Amino acid sequence: MLFNHYQDNRSAIAVKIPRMGFAVAFCVLALAAPILTLDNGLMRTPPMGWLAWERYRCDIDCQNDPKNCISEGLFRDMADRLSEDGWRELGYSYINIDDCWSDMNRDGNGRLQADAKRFPSGIPHLARYIHNRGLKLGIYGDMGTHTCGGYPGTTLDKITTDAQTFADWEIDMLKLDGCYSNVTEQEQGYPAMSKALNATGRPIAYSCSWPAYQGGLPPQVNYTLLGEICNLWRNYGDIQDSWSSVLNIADWFFKNQDILQPAAGPGRWNDPDMLVIGDFGLSMDQSRSQMALWAIMAAPLFMSNDLRTISSEARTILQNKVAITINQDPMGVQGRRLLVESSGIEVFWRPLSDKTSALVFFSRRTDMPYRYQTSLGKLHYATGTYQIYDVFAQREMPALKDSTSFLVSINPTGVVMWYISAPADEDQDNAHAGGKLRGPAFHRSANHILL
């Protein structure tokens, strides 16, 4: 939650995809030396799970809206769905409480406490319920006098107390917001909470909203430091349940990809905020677009929806095994926008492990499906023959030479997403060009921009 609100470790999912040997040109940034990471060993791939905020906000009216209010019943329901409906096995392992869970006052010992009417069993009991289902519990705090919703915050003198409280409750992740604090308090408080969490001896993943309160970009934001103290961070504003919001966030991230891409990697992730797939604002094409772009960005996949009533179509998108495999790639390189066409088509690329890669063809058009023509060679893939798997059509396509022109039909505001490899016998010969790994070129023409 950014003032008006915004907001383990999982190996790559083993998925049966047709065997693809791969020759792909890796971007120079994929080979860069890793940044130091928060020393807790967590979130080596982007975290996945469910988060309350976008769908349920600060609904505390349990008398009139008992199924949807912020209460232990809501989080138990979502834990049941994650554990029983196939989500957990795909990597969706976190159940995250957001704002408005606490009592308006700390207890007699100065510790945070849950609202007794809405969480009558207490947070430790809820944590056990969630752990018994093979899941993890995340909780929300705020580096300030109050949370964004007006509940008790964590001031500098309460950092150690609150960190130990969360550890005693067996919390697995803390999201620390930044409402009602100033620059100096944030500079001291966010690193201090990282140290305090580590000092508890319990592995607690740490999501800090610090950069979002400082504009998201250098020089105000030091991404090297963030990588040393946080597992993930909110860079930008809150997502809303609308296509314009999803597009605005994606545009900001890809506009600033040269700054943001090097900051991300195993244990340290840029967070463009929640998946709103399955709510009210996105069409199915737009839902596939959010899933694809978040996978290309190596973004955390925190759904904020009602898993009790989600449609089969939305579930199919969120449970797409190949899209999840791309998102969870253990190399952890954030992808890039390669191409912006005057036709309204954009192309995104992400290098993956084992010489694989992902391409996304995205349409900004709102009129009709667009037939986009290009070749892998034009997208600066090395010479060779590639195997293509269409992620959302869930089918293997004919092998494709780098020099062969092809057409993809992209629906308005939709995507075509490919998982790409080269046959095994061409891996060694074609992965290199002139002895060097080749990356996307920097080129401009009248019709398109290759970024």
- Catalytic site residues? 177, 238
Phi, psi of 219 (to 5 degrees): -85, -10
Q: Please enumerate in sequence order all residues whose Cβ is within 8 A of that of 273, keeping only pairs 6 or more positions apart, or say none.
A: 6, 7, 54, 234, 236, 238, 239, 249
Structure tokens at 338: 């390669």
Structure tokens at 109: 């010992």
**Spatial distance between the Cα atoms of 264 and 268, rounded to a whole number of angstroms:** 5
How many helices (H) and strands (E) would you count in the chain?
A: 13, 18
Phi, psi of 160 (to 5 degrees): -65, -40
The closest of 376, 358, 356, 325 to 421, measured between CA atoms, is 356
Burial of residue 44 (number of CB atoms within 10 Å: 0-12, 13-18, 19+): buried
Report which DSSP code applies to 30: G
From residue 200, alpha-carbon distances to 98, 157, 170, 437 in Å are: 22, 16, 11, 44
Q: Please enumerate in sequence order all residues whose Cβ is within 8 A of that of 59, keeping only pairs 6 or more positions apart, or say none.
A: 65, 68, 69, 70, 100
CB 292 within 8 A of CB 415: yes
H or E segment to which residue 232 belongs = strand 232-234
The closest of 419, 345, 295, 430 to 24, measured between CA atoms, is 430
CB 223 within 8 A of CB 258: no
Upper half-sphere CA count for residue 265 (Cβ side, 13 Å):
17
Rg of the chain on CA atoms, in Å: 22
H or E segment to which residue 163 belongs = helix 159-168
